[in-house]
């Protein structure tokens, strides 16, 4: 795509026209401050400039950008709307307005603004990138890929854009294209750390070949940010494991986990105490509702990470009567906002909530998932930590189906320990903390099972591998679904998958995923902690 603009679009060179010399100097200094992230300095400079030329559109545009950086979103939107009314054919102005709208949460208007800016100024990079980001947030990954394609055409040497494009391709299941995009960046010293991390997340690093030496060189070079160096350490350790160099792999995993653990704050005892409080707050079974079937079209998948949960959701999503909702985290949001409203932390207010209030919270959750649902279809929510709040879920939705994803404890915890989680799985980087969290999850599930045994189905990963059809039939029966052979061909389902298992669930079932036996006595400390 050439860096051209519509014949009717405003020429960016005209933006500064009419500014007095002093105001022009202030505007350029303010623009530099915005680029440097010094929005407060920019706002001060622009205040001085606007006293010299109060109606000038370029000064108002820059101030709108500065206000948006400062978090004064409503002011920024109002100011930029005014500038856009003056310069409706200026793509940069429309793009700035789109950024302010997106930051304020108005994704519909932001998408429209970015599309219009891209039409007016197709040679501008930011509107394409921001359009892609908004589309990703809205779940339209295919359209986001089109926007990323345009962005790459505008700036083919901007490696960060190509990394983002590869991630979108992975989400869509276009794995070969994603791998090709990432491998094309391996010779770029700046992009190589991100490209290797992308290949690792794609499960596309090949053991026993040239990848081994090339990745080792990148790790040894120390290139990349601290977070990238940690991620590369995990990637290298996983490659060593794939080559069955178990002693070297264990040492590399230990180094990577120690580096990651130093970055985070986590208290296993505090979490265990919170679980104690939650279980005590929900010591009584859920009260009966007027409608005991409420939430019967909801399926909550819970359990430990790396327990096969993405596979389970993919199997369910292959059914024509199921919509896979992914990891929504919406139950936690609803409960947190209720805690703020009451001025009391969860679960301290649980005893004061009656059936009507639980129904209100359930309605709040339903309103949030409404855009993702389809009439007549079950909806799956794969927010795994919901095992902590199943008592609340069963009060909001007494008819909800719960699927507890279970895998061999040693395999589960080892798989967690060798994974560099991008999100807040802070328990995973120390054997003792990992075992404590696993133990908390099991005792919580045992508690919920005594309260609502018919609502909870334990799907054991190893049993599913041994007898796929029997496992799938039992899963579907628990969810009230008729058996459909498509569920055995889950890897053919075309849907967006954002988790670490996105590449794995695009392939048929594998029975060679258990790897702990190769480590022998090296894993005895973890075995002992899990046994205790």
In CATH terms, are 1-156 and 292-531 the same topology? no
Q: How far apart are CA 177 and CA 161, in angstroms?
A: 15
Q: Please state, in angstroms and as integers, the Cα–Cα distance from residue 117 to each residue in 135, 158, 489, following that order.
A: 15, 20, 42
pLDDT in tens, 419-474: 999 777 999 999 999 999 999 999 999 999 999 999 999 999 999 999 999 999 99
Q: What is the pLDDT of residue 288?
A: 62
Residue 404 has pLDDT above 80, yes or no: yes
pLDDT in tens, 206-228: 888 889 889 999 999 998 999 99
Q: What is the pLDDT of residue 506?
A: 46
> Please, what is the end-to-end C-alpha distance for the chain in angstroms?
62
Strands 298-303 and 378-381: parallel
Q: What residues form DSSP beta bridges with 245?
A: none
Strands 401-406 and 322-324: unpaired
Residue 508 has pLDDT above 90, yes or no: no
* Domain range 292-531, CATH class: alpha beta
pLDDT in tens, 405-434: 999 999 999 999 999 997 779 999 999 999
- At 462, list the tokens: 């190893």
Mean pLDDT of the 84-112 span: 95
pLDDT in tens, 159-181: 999 999 999 999 888 999 999 99
Residue 501 has pLDDT above 50, yes or no: no
Q: Which residue's structure tokens are 């409404």?
A: 370
pLDDT in tens, 39-66: 999 999 999 999 999 999 999 999 999 9
What is the DSSP code string of 419-455? ---SSS-GGGGSHHHHHHHHHHHHHHHHHHHHH-GGG
Residue 5 has pLDDT above 90, yes or no: no
pLDDT band at 502 (very low <50, low <70, confident <90, very high): very low
State percent of the chain over pLDDT 90. 83
Q: What is the pLDDT of residue 286?
A: 76
Strands 401-406 and 456-460: parallel
**Poorest-confidence range of 137-141, 210-214, 512-516?**
512-516
Mention every residue, 6+ apart, whose C-beta is less than 8 A from residue 184.
Answer: 162
Mean pLDDT of the 338-367 span: 96
pLDDT band at 11 (very low <50, low <70, confident <90, very high): low
Q: What is the pLDDT of residue 7?
A: 37
Query: Domain-by-domain residue ranges, the chain?
Result: 1-156, 292-531
Residue 127 has pLDDT above 90, yes or no: yes
Whole-number average pLDDT of the chain: 91
Q: What is the CATH code for 1-156?
A: 1.25.40.10
Q: What is the pLDDT of residue 424?
A: 74
Mean pLDDT of the 188-207 span: 90
pLDDT band at 246 (very low <50, low <70, confident <90, very high): very high
Residue 92 has pLDDT above 90, yes or no: yes
Q: Is the peptide bond before 347 cis (omega within 30 degrees of 0)?
A: yes
């Amino acid at each position: 795509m050439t860096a051209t603009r519509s014949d009717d679009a405003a020429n960016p060179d005209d933006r500064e026209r009419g500014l007095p010399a002093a105001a022009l100097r202030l505007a350029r200094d303010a623009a530099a401050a915005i680029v440097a992230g010094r929005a407060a300095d920019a706002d001060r400079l622009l205040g001085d400039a606007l006293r010299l030329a109060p109606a000038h559109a370029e000064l108002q545009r820059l101030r709108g950008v500065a206000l948006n950086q400062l978090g004064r979103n409503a002011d920024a939107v109002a100011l930029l709307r005014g500038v856009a009314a003056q310069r409706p054919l200026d793509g940069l102005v429309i793009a700035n307005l789109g950024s302010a709208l997106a930051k304020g949460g108005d994704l519909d208007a932001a998408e429209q603004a970015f599309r219009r800016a891209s039409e007016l100024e197709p040679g501008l990079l930011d509107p394409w990138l921001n359009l892609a980001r908004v589309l990703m947030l809205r779940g339209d990954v295919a359209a986001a890929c089109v926007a990323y394609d345009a962005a790459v055409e505008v700036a083919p040497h901007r490696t960060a854009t190509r990394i983002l494009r590869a991630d979108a391709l992975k989400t869509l299941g276009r794995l070969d294209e994603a791998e090709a995009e990432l491998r094309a960046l391996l010779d770029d010293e700046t992009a190589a750390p991100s490209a290797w991390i992308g290949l690792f997340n794609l499960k596309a690093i090949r053991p026993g070949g040239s990848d081994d030496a090339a990745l080792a060189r990148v790790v040894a070079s120390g290139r990349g940010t601290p977070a990238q160096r940690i991620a590369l350490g995990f990637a290298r350790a996983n490659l060593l494991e794939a080559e069955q160099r178990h002693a070297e792999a264990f040492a590399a995993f230990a180094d990577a986990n120690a580096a990651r653990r130093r970055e985070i704050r986590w208290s296993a005892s505090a979490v265990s105490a919170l679980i104690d409080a939650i279980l005590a707050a929900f010591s009584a079974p859920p009260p009966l509702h007027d409608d005991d079937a409420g939430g019967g079209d909801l399926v909550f998948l819970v359990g430990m990470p790396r327990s096969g949960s993405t596979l389970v959701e993919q199997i369910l999503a292959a059914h024509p009567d199921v919509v896979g909702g992914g990891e929504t985290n919406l139950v936690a949001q609803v409960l947190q906002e209720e805690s703020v409203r009451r001025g009391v932390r969860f679960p301290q207010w649980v005893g004061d909530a009656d059936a009507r209030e639980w129904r209100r919270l359930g309605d709040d959750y339903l309103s949030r998932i409404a855009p993702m649902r389809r009439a007549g279809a079950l909806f799956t929510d794969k927010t795994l930590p919901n095992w902590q709040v199943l008592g609340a879920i069963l009060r909001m939705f007494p008819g909800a189906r719960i699927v507890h994803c279970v895998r061999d404890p040693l395999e589960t915890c080892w798989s967690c320990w060798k994974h560099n989680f991008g999100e807040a799985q802070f328990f995973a980087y120390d054997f003792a903390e990992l075992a404590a969290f696993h133990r908390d999850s099991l005792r919580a599930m045992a508690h919920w099972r005594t309260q609502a045994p018919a609502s909870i189905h334990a799907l054991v990963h190893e049993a599913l591998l041994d007898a796929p059809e029997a496992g799938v039939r039992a899963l579907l029966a628990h969810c009230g679904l008729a058996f459909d052979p498509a569920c055995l061909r889950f890897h053919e389902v075309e849907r967006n998958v954002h988790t670490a298992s996105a590449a794995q669930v695009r392939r048929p079932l594998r029975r060679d995923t258990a790897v702990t036996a190769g480590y022998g006595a090296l894993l005895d400390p973890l075995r002992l902690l899990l046994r205790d």
